[in-house]
Structure 1
Amino acid sequence: MKASADEVLWTDLLEKYKCSSKWNALLAWAQENLAEYPTINVTNFTSDWSDGRAFCALIHHFRPGMVNPFKLMEPKLCTLLAVQLAEKLKMHVDQATFLELAKDYKNVMAVVFELYKKLDTDEQ
C-alpha cells in the first residue's frame, strides 16, 4: 500500500528532527523557522499561537514580501492578518475558526502542518 503525500511529509519531518512524535517534529520545525523572531517563542500548540503572531512570523520567514515585519509587534492585528495571509495562500481558515483554534492543539497542529506543506515543501 502506497503512503499518502501527508504520511511521506510527516515521515520526512520525523526523520529530519529525529523525533518520535508528530507533535515534537512539527514543533521543532516551527521553532527552527521562528528562531529569527526573538519575541515569538513557541513551546506548545495552544496559547503560543493564540494571537496569530507565530502564524504571521512563519509566513514572513518563508514569504517576506507578504508580511510587514512591524505588524508582528501588534498582536491585536495579527489574528486578522493571519487569516488574510492564509486566504492568500489558499488555505481555508475564517476568523471565527482561527480564534477558536488555540483552544485545541490538534486544530493548531493541522494549520501549522498546512503551512509547512505550503511554505516548506515541494507541494507549493
Structure 2
Amino acid sequence: MESKTDGGSTALAIEELAAIEDEEVLNKMLDKAVDFEERRRIRAALRDLLKKKREKREQERGSRQQDMRQQGLSKGGTTAGGVSTGRASMNQQPSTHKPAVQASSSAAFTRTSGNPAPASAQKCLPAAAPNAKNVKQMLLDWCRAKTEPYEGVDIQNFSSSWKDGIAFCALVHRFFPDAFEYSILNPNKPRENFQLAFATAERLAGCPPLLDADDLVRMQEPDWKCVYTYIQEFYRCLVEKGLVKTKKRP
C-alpha cells in the first residue's frame, strides 16, 4: 500500500482500502499499522465497510418483506405473517443460544459462590488487587481500541457503555468476524445482543457466560464489577488461544 508521500499516494491508499471487502483483513491491517494517518484511513475504511454491509442487509430485508407481502396478497392472506417470519429469521441465532447461556451461567456462578445467594451477588467477583486501578484502566483502553472502528460503540466505562449489548458484540466480533453479521444488530434489542455475544464468546473462545442477559436487561445500568470480571475472563481466554499477545496488557 502506498504511503502518504503526496496527495496522489494518499488518494491511492484510500482507494485501495475502499476496495477491501473483508473485515478481518482490515482488522489485521489496523493491528499492524503504527502510523497515525494510516490507522485513521484504515478505521475509516472499516467503518464504511460495516455501514455498507448494514445498508445492503437492510435493503435485502426490505426486498424480502416486499416479496412476502406480494405473495400474501396473491394468496388472499395478510402481510403480518410475512413480516413476522422475517423478524424471526433475523433473530434466530441469538435465540437459539439462550438455553445454553442460561444453563452454563448457573454452573459458572456456582463455582464463584458456594451459597445460594442472589444472582447479582454470585456473578460479581471482587476486583481488589494492589494494582487493580491500573489494570482496570488498561483493560478499558484495550476494549476501546478494539471496538473503535465499530459504529454505535463508545466505551467510556464498564457500566453504561455496555447496557445495550452492542459493545459486547463488537468486542467479540473483532476477534471472530465470521461468527455473525454485526451490521444487522439492533441496539433496541439488548437481550438478543447479550445472548449473541455471550454465546459466541463461549463457543469460539471458551469464555464462560458469567453474565446473564435477563439480569442485565432488568438493570438500569450493568454493575461495573460484573462487566469488568467478564471482560477479564474473555481477555484471558483470548490469550490462551493465542489471539492476544501479552506484554503490558492487563
TM-superposition CA deviations, 1:72-103 (whole Å, max 9, x none): 3x120312212322432431343234445x53
**CA 1:37–1:48 in structure 2 vs 1: closer, same or farther (change >3 Å)?**
same
The answer to whether the Cα contact below 8 Å between 2:216 and 2:222 also exists between their aligned partners in 1 is no
Taking the aligned partners of 2:180 and 2:162, their CA distance within structure 1 comes to 17
Unaligned runs of 5+ in 1: 1-13, 15-19
Percent identical: 32
Instruction: Quote the Cα distance in structure 1 between the aligned partners of 2:195 and 2:184.
Output: 11
Q: CA deviation at 1:25?
A: 0.4
Q: Which of these residues, 222, 227, 230, is aligned with residue 103 of structure 1?
A: 222
Q: How does 1:71-110 map to 2 (within 5 A)?
A: 71-72=184-185, 74-75=186-187, 76=189, 77-88=192-203, 89-90=205-206, 91-92=208-209, 93-99=211-217, 102-110=221-229
Q: Using structure 2 for the length normalisation, give the TM-score.
A: 0.37
Gaps of at least 5 residues in structure 2 are 1-130, 242-250
Amino acid at match of 2:140: L
Alignment size in residue pairs? 104
Q: In the aligned structure 1, how far is the partner of 2:234 from the partner of 2:216?
A: 14
Query: 1:1-124 to 2 correspondence within 5 Å?
Result: 21-72=134-185, 74-75=186-187, 76=189, 77-88=192-203, 89-90=205-206, 91-92=208-209, 93-99=211-217, 102-119=221-238, 121=239, 123-124=240-241
Q: Is the radius of gyration larger for structure 1 or structure 2?
A: 2
Q: Which residue of 1 aligns with 2:34?
A: none
What is the TM-score with the length of structure 1 in the denominator? 0.70
* Other structure's SS at 2:152 match: coil
Moved over 4 A (4+): none
